[in-house]
A and B are shown apart, each in its own frame.
Chain A
C-alpha cells in the first residue's frame, strides 16, 4: 500500500508551490462551477455556459494584447456577453441557442483577430493552445485573491437566488404571481454564470471551464434528489475530479514522453467523464413506476 501511495503521489507533489496554488484555485473554481452548473443544466443553458467561457477567453486575449491584466479582459467580455444574451431576450430555447451561437461566432472571430495581432506584434506562438486549455500550473500568486473573490461572489449570487430560480423553472407564471421579477432574476443568474465561467476560463481554460460547469452538475442531478444535495454533490464531484487531475498531471512528468507531462485538462476532463458515466450505474428500479398516464 505504501508503495502504491508513493507511486501515485510522486515526490514533491504536496510541497510544490504551483501545485498548491493550482489545488486551491482549482478547488474554488470547481466548487463554484459545480453549484452554478446545477442551475445551468436545469435551465438548459449549457450552450450559453460554454459560449460565455469562449467569449471571456476572447476578452483575455484582447487584454493581453493591450497590456492590461487579463483578468479584467475575461470578466468584461464575459459579463458583456451575458448582457448581450439578456438584451436579445429570446424566450424559447431554440431561439436562445441561435443567439448564443451568433455571439459565439462573433467572439471567435474577434479572438482570431486578437491572436493574429498578438502573433504579429509579439512573437508568442501557442497562444491559442493556452487560451483553450488554460494554464493551471502557471497562476501567479498575486492574482489569487482576486480569483477567489470573484468565485465567491458568483457562488453567493447563485445561492441567494436558488429558491426563486427553482420556482421560476417550475412555473414562471406562479413565480410572476408571487411577485418574483422573473426576467431580472434570470439576468442576475446569467451574470453570475458569466463571472463563474470567466474566472474558470482564465484559470483552467475554456475547455475545462465547460467540463467543470456541466459534468459534475449533470452527474449530481442523476444521483441527488433535493436541491441542496444536488449542489453539494456537484461541488464535491468537481473538486475530486480537479484534484485527481492535478495529481496525475504532476505524475505524468515521469511518464513518456519524458519531462513534458500530459496536460492537466486531459486528466480532469477524463475524471469528469468517468464520474458521469458511473452515475449511470444506478440501482435499477429506483424510479417509481408510473401509476397512471405520464405527464405530458
Chain B
C-alpha cells in the first residue's frame, strides 16, 4: 500500500495505526492507518457504506475501535474514549437536526462554537461579537447572519457549521460528507472556502465524500476506503487501477476523463486484477456524474 511520507512525529496532528472496527458481527474496517500534518487537505473517499463516517467517529472519540490507536498531536486517546480533541479538532457533522422553529439565528449558532458547552447565559461582549463576525467572514456567511438557521439552504447551513467549528481555532477540521446534498455551485463554494482555510490559516482538512470529483483539484492526499480497508497516499499514488483493484478485491478500472475520475468495476478476469471473483456486475462505483 502506498505508505506514509517520512516526517517527524511532532509534526503530526493526527495519527491512526491499525484501526479496526467491528459492529453487530460485521467487520466495518480493518487495519486502517494514516497521518495528517498541518495544512494538509485530505480527502476521505469511498462508496456509501464503506465506513467513512465510522472512521471519522473513531477519530473524534465517538466510536471505540475494536483495535488500533488514535493519537492527536502525539497524545494517544485513552481507553476511556471520551473525546478530548479539545479545541484542536473541529467537526462539521453530516446530519443536523435543525427544525424550522429552532430559536437560533446564524450568529447564535456560530457563537455556540465559542462556549456552547458551558453553563449559564453568556454576557454579551464586543470580543464575542468580533469573533463571530470574523468567523462569518471567513466562510462568506455575513449576508444572512441574522436569519433563522432553520430557514437556510443546505449550502448555507454547511457554511454556518464550518464557521461554528472554526471559531474555536482548530488545527484540524473534520467534515462528514458536507457536499452530499448540494448542487454543483454550492459544493464548489464550500470547497473553495475550505481550500482557502487550509492555505491561509494552515488548518488541516479531512473531508469525507463518496464523489471525489469536486475535490480532485484541491486534494493533496487521499484515504480511499473500500471493502473495509484503506489505501493512503497522494492522489496520483492511490488513484490507480492496480491499487484500487487490490483494495476492492476484484478488478476495477480508474479512468481519467476530462479532469474527472471514474472508477468502474470490470468483469471477472480483467488484466491486473486480483481474484477473478467479482462481487458486483458491471457497474459504475464512483463517477463524476454529479
A13 close to B (CB within 8 Å): no
From residue 112 to 139 of chain B, which have CB atoms closer than 8 A to chain A?
112, 115-122
B115 to nearest A CB, angstroms? 7
Residue pair B183, A292 in contact (C-beta under 8 Å): yes
Report B33 CB to chain A, min CB distance, Å.
22
CB–CB B83/A163 < 8 A: no
CB contacts under 8 Å to B, within A262-292, are 287-288, 290-292
Name the contact of B153 in the complex, choosing from A226, A229, A291 (C-beta under 8 A).
Answer: A291
Query: When the two chains form their complex, are residues B151 and A288 in contact, meaning their CB atoms are under 8 A apart?
Result: yes
Please tell me which one of the listed residues A177, A226, A296 contacts residue B154 in the complex, with CB atoms under 8 A apart: A296
CB distance from A223 to the nearest CB of B (A): 10
Residues of B contacting A176 in the complex (Cβ-Cβ under 8 angstroms): 62, 83
B96 interface residue (CB < 8 Å to A): yes
Assuming the contacts A166-B104, A221-B101, asked whether A293 and B115 have C-beta atoms less than 8 A apart, the reply is: no
- C-alpha gap A294/B182 in the complex (Å): 9
User: What 1/0 flags go to B234-276 for Cβ under 8 Å of A?
Assistant: 0000000000000000000000000000000000000000000
- Distance between Cα atoms of A228 and B82 in the complex (Å): 31
State A46–B82 Cα separation when bound (angstroms).
32
Q: Of B41-49, B140-148, B278-286, which stretch is located at the interface? A: B140-148
A 219-251 binary contact with B (CB < 8 Å = 1; else 0): 011101111111000000000000000000000
- The answer to whether B112 touches A170, judged by C-beta atoms less than 8 angstroms apart, is yes
* Closest CB pairs A-B (n = 7): A167-B116, A230-B103, A178-B117, A221-B101, A295-B154, A177-B83, A292-B153
Q: Are B61 and A177 in contact (CB under 8 A)?
A: yes
Question: Are the C-beta atoms of B97 and A169 separated by less than 8 Å?
Answer: yes
| Residues in B neighbouring A161, C-beta threshold 8 A | 119
Would B121 and A228 count as touching, CB distance under 8 A?
yes
* Bound-complex Cα distance A41 to B115 (A): 23
Instruction: With both chains docked as a complex, state the minimum distance between the C-beta of B106 and any C-beta of chain A, in angstroms.
Output: 10
Q: When A171-B93, A295-B181 are in contact, do A162 and B121 touch as well, CB less than 8 Å? A: yes
> Does A180 make an interface contact (CB < 8 A)?
yes
Which B residue's beta carbon lies closest to that of A41?
B101
Nearest Cβ on chain B to A105's Cβ, whole angstroms: 28
Beyond A176-B83, A225-B105, A295-B157, whether A163 also contacts B120 by CB under 8 A is yes
Give chain A residues whose Cβ lies under 8 Å from the Cβ of B62.
Answer: 173, 176-177
Complex contacts, B119 vs chain A, CB 8 Å? 160-161, 163-164
Q: What is the chain B residue whose CB lies nearest that of A294?
A: B153
Contact call A225/B103, Cβ cutoff below 8 A: yes
Contacting residues, chain A, for B120 (C-beta < 8 A): 159-160, 163
Is the CB–CB distance between A180 and B117 below 8 Å? yes
Q: Is the CB of B148 within 8 A of A225?
A: yes
Which of A224, A229, A294: most chain B Cβ within 10 A?
Answer: A294
Tell me which residues across on chain B come within 8 A of A291, comparing CB atoms: 153, 155-156
- Check if B101 sits within 8 Å of A163, measured CB to CB: no
**Number of residues in A with C-beta < 8 Å to the partner?**
43
Knowing A171-B93, A176-B83 touch, does A295 contact B152 (C-beta < 8 A)? Answer: yes
Contact of B154 with A292 in the complex, beta carbons under 8 Å: yes
* Contact between chains at A173 and B93 (CB < 8 Å): yes
Cβ-Cβ contact count across A and B, 8 Å cutoff: 129
Is B200 among interface residues, defined by CB-CB distance under 8 A?
no
* Chain A residue, CB-CB nearest to B180: A296
B186 at the interface (CB under 8 A from A): yes
Q: Which residue of B lies closest to A287 (CB)?
A: B151
Note all chain A residues with C-beta closer than 8 A to B61: 177
Which residues of chain A have C-beta atoms less than 8 A from B103's C-beta? 38, 42, 166, 220-221, 224-227, 229-230
| Alpha-carbon gap, A167 to B98, bound state (A) | 11
Is B79 in contact with chain A by the CB < 8 A criterion? no
Contact indicator A292/B182 (Cβ below 8 Å): yes
- In angstroms, how far is the closest chain B Cβ from the Cβ of A286? 9
Q: Known contacts A225-B148, A292-B155, A295-B181: does B101 contact A167 (CB below 8 Å)?
A: no
**A160-B119, A166-B112 known; A293+B186 contact, CB < 8 A:** yes
Is A179's CB within 8 Å of the partner chain B?
yes
Cα–Cα distance between A198 and B153 once the two chains are bound (Å): 40
- Chain A contacts of B162 at CB under 8 A? none
Chain B residue numbers with a CB within 8 Å of A287 are: 148, 151
Determine how close the nearest CB of chain B comes to the CB of A178; give it in whole angstroms: 4
Is residue B38 within 8 Å, beta carbon to beta carbon, of the partner chain?
no
B108 CB–A CB distance under 8 Å = yes
A174 on the B face (CB < 8 A): yes
Q: Is B209 an interface residue (CB 8 A)?
A: no
Distance (whole angstroms) from the CB of B81 to the closest CB of chain A: 11
Q: Does A175 contact B (CB under 8 A)?
A: yes
Known: A225-B146, A292-B153, A294-B154. A177 touches B85 (CB 8 A): yes
> 14 extra interchain contacts, Cβ-Cβ under 8 A, other than A166-B104, A291-B156?
A42-B101, A42-B102, A42-B103, A160-B119, A160-B120, A161-B119, A163-B119, A166-B103, A166-B108, A179-B84, A225-B103, A230-B103, A288-B152, A295-B96
Q: B26: CB under 8 A from chain A?
A: no
Q: Are the CB atoms of A42 and B99 closer together than 8 Å?
A: yes
Q: How far is the CB of A126 from chain B (nearest CB, A)?
A: 39
Contact with B along A1-16 (1 / 0, CB 8 A): 0000000000000000
Q: Does B58 touch A at the CB level, under 8 Å?
A: no
